[in-house]
A and B are shown apart, each in its own frame.
Chain A
Amino acid sequence: MAFDSPQFWIAVLQIIAIDIVLGGDNAVVIALACRRLPEQQRKLGIFWGVFGAIALRVVMIFFALSLLTMPYLKIIGAALLVWIGIKLLQPEAEGAHEIDASTTLIGAIKTIIVADAVMSLDNVIAIAGAAKDDIGLVIFGLIVSVPIIVWGSQMVLKVMDRYPVTIAIGAGLLGWIAGDMAVTDVVTKDWVSTQAKYLQWVAPVSVALLVIAAGKMLAARKPAKPAPLEDLVDDKPKQ
């Protein structure tokens, strides 16, 4: 892709948006996993956690790029992205799991590595899809995700909390990329470009709308049984 083509800049914007929407919670997990460690170890834990998150993205994205050239795998990737997009729109489920709070550096690093692996995966599939096999764009996407993981997460999450429409936009974008991947898979590409060229834009648009609609519907259907109010401060009236 050339620098002066609109597709290039659209891909750039898509990648930045993906990094923002999908990268924020990774940094929060790293910070929270390390919070019980003593000061010195906490810095170490955060450093290696962030380093690991970025390294895992680099390794996984090169795997992803070669995997996506195989038949059907882009379609599978597209399905995964649809699922990730719909999940993004669901209200967060808290309290279902009991996880050991690690008070050791090793324990914290273990938590971070598992979290990094899971959280990098969605980011990597989306970036690989948006970059459309352009290795320069892939590297660009990785570089942009670094400052977001390191510094931007708090701000990003605040914006997403206060303006929920940004989440819907992110979910729609994931759907868009999924639609695009589905029609550029090895097995669909030739047929689409000769028989049904219109699918090249119909598929992204309709999958984006589908993700937003399905996500919103599922979120609305969740039984709104309010959890009991829990006051995190045990504040007895001062005498």
Chain B
Amino acid sequence: MLKILLPVDGSDNARKAVADFIPLLNWYAEKPELHLLNVQYPLRGNVALFINQADIKQYHQEEGLKELQGTRALLDQAGVAYQYHIVVGDPAEMIVRFASEKQFNQIVMGPRGAGGIQGLLLGSVTSKVMQLASTPVLLIK
């Protein structure tokens, strides 16, 4: 079965890309396996000196779930099955690593997420993923 990775941050842009992708699922001969991926930035500065690892993980997990919520609701509503994942690190790097280590066949994402400036051709995360990924990337504009 084809494995497709859909990176999502909490932004409307990312949600829209997934929404636009749902009707395109008919393109695939066999129903692909969909995986949502949310990447949380590591906490900066001295936080790790004072806060327990388990608490930090739980914090990242909660923040990630919040950011995934909108997209998950969308997929649930459309009746599309999916799995979801949350990892911590640099977004573009983690997306690329996750896709290659877990052997995904395709990455599907919008041109920009929360970080991109409107009007900019490509957001920084998307353009970095396209540069670094050895997995094919489908850009939904």
Enumerate chain A interface residues (CB-CB to B < 8 A).
24-25, 28-29, 32-33, 35-36, 88, 91-101, 111, 114-115, 118-119, 157, 160-163, 226, 229-233, 235, 237-238
Contacts and interface: CB of A to CB of B under 8 A. Distances in A.
Interface of B: 41-61, 64-65, 81, 83-88, 94, 97-98, 101-102, 114-115, 124
Contacts of B47: 25, 28-29, 32, 92
B50 A233 contact: no
Contacts of A157: 41, 43-44
A226 B132 CA distance: 15
Contacts of A29: 46-47, 50-51
A94 B42 contact: yes
Contacts of B60: 232
Nearest to B102: A229
6 contacts: A25-B44, A97-B48, A114-B50, A160-B44, A230-B88, A233-B65
A207 to B, nearest CB: 21
Contacts, number: 109
B49 A32 contact: no
B46 A24 contact: no
Contacts of A24: 44-45
Contacts of A93: 48
Contacts of B49: 97, 115, 118
Nearest to B116: A162
B50 A115 contact: yes
A162 B115 contact: yes
Given A226-B97, A235-B83, A94 B61 contact: no
Contacts of A32: 47, 51, 55-56, 59
B55 A36 contact: yes
A114 B50 CA distance: 8
Contact of B41 (A100, A119, A161, A229): A161
B53 A98 contact: yes
Contacts of B84: 233, 235
A118 B86 contact: no
Given A29-B47, A118-B46, A157-B44, A94 B85 contact: no
A208 to B, nearest CB: 20
